[in-house]
A and B are shown apart, each in its own frame.
Chain A
Amino acid sequence: MERPLPALAVFTLLVLLAGGLEVVRPFGRSLAGLTGGLLTLDTLIRTGLLTIVLVGLNLLMGYAGQVSLGQAAFYGMGAFWSAILTVRGPVLGLSPSLVQAWWWPWLVMLLGAALVGTFAYGVGWVILRLRGHYLAMATLGLGITVYILLRENLGLPHLNLTGGFDGVFGIPRLRLGPYPVWPAERYYFLVWLVALLVIALGLRVVDSRVGRALRAIHGAEGAAESVGIPAAAYKAQIFGLSAALAALGGSLYAHFQAAVVPATFGFVPSLELVVMASVGGLRSIWGAPVGALTVLVLGDFVRTWMRGLLPTMAGEVEGILFGFLLILVLLFWPSGIAGRRRAAEVVL
């Protein structure tokens, strides 16, 4: 067991520093002001939320070698679960005093992660038998199914639980007893506390018997089974874990955004998650925050830049340029920014 603590400690300091700058506002300037608009508090909170999701995706794709093109669906399940149970309480017959209790959203969040994780674990037993393109297609199908269910009100239009295209709004902010975890500066610390815990979890899982088994399955499934590793069980477990983390991120997103719409959790967002994970580095837990931040900042940068250059058709050109940049990164930096080229470099 290596000790990943120094890196984690340094990273924690960076997180505290960025948050501290926003709170203290030296020279009266916000984080955005200090970084020339490159880093905003909003970007950093999103990075934290996505980090929670991407650590799970890295474990699944980078370590266990199982492609998921439907990860945004689990993110969306978490988000809508929290949204529905904190906003649509009366429709569900929940007593107002329960729904308004400060601990209710927290409990809902944990329950959501557990439920979505269990759901994915069950589904995983079935679809993780598939390999390569077939697995990708199955997760894609799962993602699209969930998206359509959210958009179509779960097939129960009279209850209007998901709000259809419009989604759910008016999601309450989180509170700790009487203290609201808001404004955004406070929420930043909550999100990053969770994200850091998830990173620590990821680092620990990777550096364990389970992590070795996952990498072995990735490397040669038949050989892994030949030493007694139940590949299907491990794949289902890690699929469940990744889904639980995605749901947790989704719940935190819902309380941050205060409104959720199905479009945020469709196919393209699932692809974006895969892109972020790849850019950051699939075989590295640190690839999660690095990939999320890089893609978010790059996206903001390209959007602003293109709007100045070609104001009339910014949207389209932005997409193309963005895609092009990503292809370049993946071509010339295939193991990602935070990824090591190989597990070991020993010159023979």
Chain B
Amino acid sequence: MRALLEVVEVSRAFGGLQALRGVSLSVRPGEIKALIGPNGAGKTTLFNIVTGTLAPDTGDVRLDGRSLVGLPPFRIAELGIARTFQNVHLFGGMTVLEHALVGLHRHLRSGLVDAAVRSRRMRQEERWARERAWSLLERFGLSTWAHAAADRLPFGLQRVVELVRAMATEPRLVLLDEPAAGLNPTEKERLADLIRSIRDEGVTVLLVEHDVDFVMELADEVAVLVQGVLIAAGPPGRVRSDPRVIAAYLGEEPVADHAS
């Protein structure tokens, strides 16, 4: 099957630090792909390159064959890539419902003039957007907190708000940057279920994660990034037993098989 997202030979340096060296990666439509690796492996850098926040020094990123390099982040979002952030970027002072509405931005067209005259288009759009936002909150279990300030919610729920905001854009591909970080085991399990339900809806998922057990349970495909180099990729079972991966994680032992 043709890849939805292709990362081709991407390199990026920060001053003397080579964050990514010729990384190639492809994500097939409808799969959950995980990118794992120790801290500082370049995972977030790769995310930032895919979403257009950073430019690669060399290499290409393609969505459905179309190069994304050089496009501003909002254009890439319009093309169907949504994301969450490692250290949760919520809109200060805005409610949970408003976060969902902001996520729906690209499906609405009203501008300043519509706002000034309260055009029919705007009234129709707003009615539709509110219905849509509420159904998203219900689906993700946030409707109780619809009118709460999002940045005051418990951390686990803030993560879900980010997920709702990303999903509201109706992306083809959603990038989750360490979605499980800082969550307790119950929250992690709930999150895994949500991510599976997103995939089952037909949205492709690429996630970066530190928590290897979480990833091995969830992902269809795993890629391992160490010091800016992709050292292994494939189904979780195979990656787990790959000697290079074991070597890279030696001492940390997060790849150990708990079943044995």
Contact = CB atoms under 8 A, between A and B. Distances in A.
B93 A223 contact: no
A204 B113 CA distance: 10
B147 A344 contact: yes
A216 B115 contact: no
A100 interface: no
Interface in A219-234: 219-220, 222-231
Nearest to B112: A210
A264 interface: no
A279 B162 CA distance: 33
B103 A209 contact: no
Q: Which label, helix, strand, loop or mixed, suits the secondary structure of the A interface?
A: helix
Interface residues of B, number: 48
B121 to A, nearest CB: 11
Interface in B149-197: 149, 152-154, 162, 165-166, 168-169
B31 to A, nearest CB: 22
A168 interface: no
A151 interface: no
The bracket for how many chain A residues form the interface is: 35 or more
B173 to A, nearest CB: 13
Interface in B68-109: 72-74, 77-78, 82-83, 85, 89-95, 98, 101-103, 105-106, 108
A343 B95 CA distance: 7
A210 B94 contact: no
B51 A219 contact: no
Contact of B105 (A228, A344, A345, A346): A228
Contacts of A201: 116
Interface in A303-348: 342-346, 348
A210 B115 contact: yes
B91 A216 contact: yes
A209 B125 contact: yes
A212 interface: yes
Contacts of B77: 225-228
Interface of A: 1, 201, 204-205, 207-213, 215-216, 218-220, 222-231, 237, 241, 283, 342-346, 348
13 contacts: A1-B118, A209-B105, A209-B115, A215-B93, A219-B91, A226-B83, A228-B106, A229-B74, A344-B93, A344-B148, A344-B149, A346-B145, A346-B149
Closest A-B pairs by Cβ, 3 of them: A219-B91, A208-B115, A228-B106
